[in-house]
Amino acid sequence: MNTSQPERRSRWLLVLLVVIWGASWPVIKMGVTSVPPIWFACLRHVVGTACVVAVAALRGELTLPSLSDWKLIAVSGVLQMAMYSALTAVALTHLPAGRSSVLAFSTPLWVVPLSVWWLREPVSWLRRIGVGAGLVGVLVIASPGLPGTGPGQLAPYILLLCAAAGWAISIVFVRAHRFQASALSLAPWQMLVAALLLLPCAIGLNGKLPSLDMRGLLALAYVGPLATAFAYWAMIEIGRHVRATTISMTLLTVPCVGLLISALTFNEAINAPLILGFALIGAGVLLTLAELSPRARSHEAIASR
């Protein structure tokens, strides 16, 4: 079967999205060395909100959400955007970018038990093995921070796992939600909720916003418009023409790109425990996604920030 022009365009857009998200981890790492982490997460969504508002307005999709969709906006704005970006930003002030990206993209591992508990979905032995392999991989990567094995950096690993779990809760909620409006028309409100929630947190935890130097401005100039606003729009466009299975599997390469770029830019060491942990998490994610229904995969792909 011949591939249509929109599908070919979307496949190239998906490749571009993987590169953008993979590169965002070392860029965020650079940003949080210049801007306090919660402030960086807040400003990221301020910039993203402005960009998505402009796009939605140009496409005539800037509308007030229904009461039903406000529930989705609250959950995704708080968990998928505010919580995820804040916790990963804080973790990146302590951990290498590549290692952080692997743990932060372990989200599908947490979707399985949540789906069983919340949506009463049956779980096969294949998916149970996948969750088990992924959890072992998480322990292998986090082992330097476990008590008695390293410099005591357990807290950042916990923050990354909490971020992944929060994203998983949002994915499950999206799966059960009945949309009244398009994803693009809801995006400005989701990002606005995240920005408004992060603002008092940034003031309370990081104090007054310091002057932004060139490093901080460059990081925000990349992460806000590209890794936040553009990435959300790109996921919508890709989902219209590319199979959800292809999207889910391709996005698993994001941590690979993050690791590679981090190794090249920050000389991040890629040692045996990191490779083993990454392989176990990758295998676990593949197994947990292998039996998801097409509808579930589609929701997960759209929910992936």
- The tally of CA atoms less than 13 A away on the side-chain side of residue 93 is 17
Which of the 8 DSSP states describes residue 149?
T
Distance CA 117, CA 292 (A): 16
Distance CA 95, CA 78 (A): 24
Which of the 8 DSSP states describes residue 98?
H
- The tally of CA atoms less than 13 A away on the side-chain side of residue 158 is 7
Give the count of domains, the chain.
1
Per-residue pLDDT at 278: 79
pLDDT in tens, the chain (305 residues): 455 777 777 778 888 988 898 899 999 999 999 999 999 999 999 999 999 999 999 989 899 998 888 988 898 889 989 999 999 999 999 888 887 887 887 776 676 677 677 666 666 777 778 778 877 887 787 676 555 445 556 788 889 989 988 888 887 777 677 778 777 888 899 999 999 999 999 999 999 998 999 999 999 999 999 999 888 777 766 756 665 445 655 666 787 788 888 888 877 777 788 788 878 877 876 776 565 444 444 444 444 44
Which of the 8 DSSP states describes residue 144?
G
Distance CA 111, CA 68 (A): 23
Range(s) of the domain holding residue 203:
5-303
Distance CA 172, CA 180 (A): 17
Beta strands in 186-225 (DSSP E): none
Distance CA 103, CA 159 (A): 10
Instruction: Read off the amino acid at residue 176.
Output: A
Q: Is 207 exposed, middle or buried (0-12, 13-18, 19+ CB in 10 A)?
A: exposed
Alpha-carbon dihedral sign for residues 126, 251, 54, 34: positive
Q: Which two tokens stand for residue 49?
A: 């909100």
Residue among 278, 242, 276 nearest 258 (CA): 278
Q: Which residue has the tokens 């609250």?
A: 74
Residues 6 or more apart whose CB falls under 8 angstroms from that of 186 comprise 65, 69, 72, 73, 179
Helix (H, G, I), strand (E, B) or coil at 63: coil
Quick check: 154 and 147 in contact, CB under 8 A?
Answer: yes
Cβ atoms within 10 Å, residue 61: 16
Per-residue pLDDT at 45: 95
Q: Is 198 exposed, middle or buried (0-12, 13-18, 19+ CB in 10 A)?
A: buried
Q: Which two tokens stand for residue 146?
A: 């476990």
Which of the 8 DSSP states describes residue 145?
G
The whole-model pTM stands at 0.79
